[in-house]
């Protein structure tokens, strides 16, 4: 028969054994980790054209297009909002189509033509969409604005090219820059300041559909 004293010894034994096991498993792991050689990340060269300027950049293969623009080309007009493809702040135009640059690796853009907000217009020669945003107060803090403007330019181009959206009653018909259509197509661009109605007015003006 086991008595209370035996049980106490057994508990002490178990605790001591557990502590010894933890010491044996954690210390060598920490030492082993710090002893691992730190290899440089793999790099590759990518050639792309940004705002009409050709660049050949040697980049860590994991670099996103957004970080390439901001950190390597100092084009900080393109903003990092969520970095998860959910806000549209990082929208740029690639070969005529808008994309979220945070979701795209720079290496995927070999030979591509990229337009950022800096390439759409300049302070002396604003793009009509930039001028319309100013006229209609299409912003407040301005953080989402570069992405909104790039998206808005690409949206009107999509409509001109007849790219359908699922709010069209007839997807075979030419899409029109209606308020509903513009809202649907701009739904991936979030504005925390809530400048949506002003953004739509700016877009309608450029589209020629402003009442």
Q: Does 133 bind ligand FES (CB under 6 A)?
A: no
Our finding on whether 80 is near ligand FES (CB under 6 A) is: yes
- Is residue 191 near ligand FES by the rule CB under 6 A? yes
# residues near ligand FES by CB under 6 A: 23
Please tell me the distance from the alpha carbon of residue 128 to that of residue 120, in angstroms, as a whole number.
9
Structure tokens at 11: 């508990």
- Work out whether strand 97-100 and strand 53-60 pair parallel, antiparallel, or are unpaired: unpaired
Q: Does 85 bind ligand FES (CB under 6 A)?
A: yes
- In the complex with ligand FES, the residue whose CB is nearer, 99 or 156, is 99
141 binds ligand FES (CB under 6 A): yes
User: Looking at beta carbons only, is 88 or 119 nearer to ligand FES?
Assistant: 88
Q: How far is the CB of 110 from ligand FES (least distance, A)?
A: 21
108 contributes a contact to ligand FES by CB under 6 A? no
Does the protein bind ligand FES through residue 134 (CB under 6 A)?
A: no
Q: Are 136 and 202 in contact (CB under 8 A)?
A: yes
Cβ contacts of 21 within 8 Å, gap of 6 or more? none
Residue 117: strand, helix, or coil: helix
Q: Where are the alpha helices (DSSP H) in 36-125?
A: 65-67, 117-120
Binding site for ligand FES (CB under 6 A): 80-83, 85-90, 100, 102, 139-145, 191-193, 195
């Amino acid at each position: 028969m086991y008595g209370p004293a035996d049980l106490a010894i057994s508990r002490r034994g178990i605790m001591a054994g557990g502590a010894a096991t933890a010491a044996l498993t954690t210390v060598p792991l920490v030492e082993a980790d710090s002893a691992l050689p730190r290899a440089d990340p793999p790099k590759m060269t990518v050639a792309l054209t940004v705002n009409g300027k050709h660049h050949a950049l040697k980049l860590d293969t994991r670099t996103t297009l957004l970080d390439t623009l901001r950190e390597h080309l100092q084009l900080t007009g393109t903003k990092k909002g969520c970095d998860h493809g959910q806000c549209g702040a990082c929208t740029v135009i690639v070969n005529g189509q808008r994309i979220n640059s945070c979701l795209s690796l720079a290496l995927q853009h070999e030979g591509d033509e990229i337009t950022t907000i800096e390439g759409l217009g300049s302070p002396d020669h604003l793009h009509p969409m930039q001028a319309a945003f100013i006229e209609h107060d299409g912003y407040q803090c301005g953080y989402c604005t570069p992405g909104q403007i790039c998206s808005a330019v690409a949206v009107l181009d999509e409509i001109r090219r007849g790219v359908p959206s699922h709010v069209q009653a007839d997807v075979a018909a030419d899409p029109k820059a209606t308020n509903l259509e513009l809202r649907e197509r701009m739904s991936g661009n979030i504005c925390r300041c809530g400048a949506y109605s002003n953004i739509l007015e700016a877009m309608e003006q450029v589209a020629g559909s402003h009442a």
